[in-house]
């Protein structure tokens, strides 16, 4: 990706994590800490300072989660990805697993299984500063992959969507699946239509036939 896009994504993540800590009790969430550690590794090559601040009751689980994620991205198929791509890829995979997407692999389910509530808090924090959320929205909107379009929709501060677990899961599942929509998906689409997230990201991506 272009260098300027990488900067937007990296700075946007740092701002989101700062907001998460300040407004949404990020320090009590494993996803917060694993993303914070990844940011530190990208910026300084060392995450020891962040890991040292993790509450005692979360530290063991964080070490295990970081190990699984590092092993996943260390695979030869992903090792050449830019660090910021791995950073946001961690969010993408966690969202995909939480949404029970058919595109989530068995390995991804083992590595990135995190509560949907954690992801809701992440996106709430990412949307806290409108100018930052909008820059992230514009960056992901330009990427054609379904998961990027889902992130764009969830970061779009110009729609009247109230983010909750059900909305996030349904939107990601609808965008991430392939082929004609099932009856259950059609019902899910109807349930989130009034949020305007559908208008923001869904139109044209999948057939309703």
Over the stretch 130-164, which tens digit does the pLDDT of each residue have? 999 999 999 998 888 888 888 888 898 887 667 88
The confidence score (pLDDT) of residue 30 equals: 96
pLDDT exceeds cutoff 60 at 40:
yes
The confidence score (pLDDT) of residue 137 equals: 93
pTM comes to 0.84
Give the CA count within 13 Å in the CB-facing half-sphere of 116.
17
Over the stretch 63-118, which tens digit does the pLDDT of each residue have? 999 999 999 999 978 888 899 999 999 999 999 999 888 888 999 999 999 999 99
Extract the tokens encoding 173: 């599942």
pLDDT exceeds cutoff 90 at 189:
no
Q: Could you give the CA distance from residue 133 to residue 205 in angstroms, rounded to a whole number?
A: 23
Average pLDDT score over the chain: 85
pLDDT exceeds cutoff 50 at 202:
no
The confidence score (pLDDT) of residue 162 equals: 75
Indicate the pLDDT class of residue 200, thresholds 50, 70 and 90. very low
Over the stretch 5-34, which tens digit does the pLDDT of each residue have? 999 999 999 999 999 999 999 999 999 999
């Amino acid at each position: 990706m272009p260098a300027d896009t990488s900067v937007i994504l990296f700075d946007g993540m740092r701002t989101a994590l700062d907001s998460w800590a300040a407004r949404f009790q990020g320090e009590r969430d494993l996803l917060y800490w694993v993303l914070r550690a990844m940011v530190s590794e990208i910026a300084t090559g060392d995450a020891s300072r962040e890991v040292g601040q993790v509450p005692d009751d979360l530290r063991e689980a964080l070490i295990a989660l970081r190990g699984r994620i590092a092993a996943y991205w260390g695979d030869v198929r992903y090792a050449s990805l830019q660090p910021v791509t791995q950073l946001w890829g961690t969010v993408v995979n966690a969202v995909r697993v939480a949404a029970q997407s058919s595109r989530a692999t068995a390995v991804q389910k083992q590595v990135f299984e995190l509560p949907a509530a954690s992801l809701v808090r992440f996106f709430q924090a990412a949307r806290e500063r409108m100018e930052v959320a909008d820059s992230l929205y514009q960056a992901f909107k330009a990427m054609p992959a379904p998961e990027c379009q889902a992130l764009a929709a969830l970061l779009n501060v110009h729609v009247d969507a109230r983010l909750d677990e059900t909305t996030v899961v349904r939107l990601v599942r609808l965008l991430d699946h392939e082929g004609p929509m099932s009856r259950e998906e059609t019902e899910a689409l109807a349930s989130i239509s009034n949020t305007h997230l559908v208008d923001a990201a869904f139109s044209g991506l999948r057939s309703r036939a």
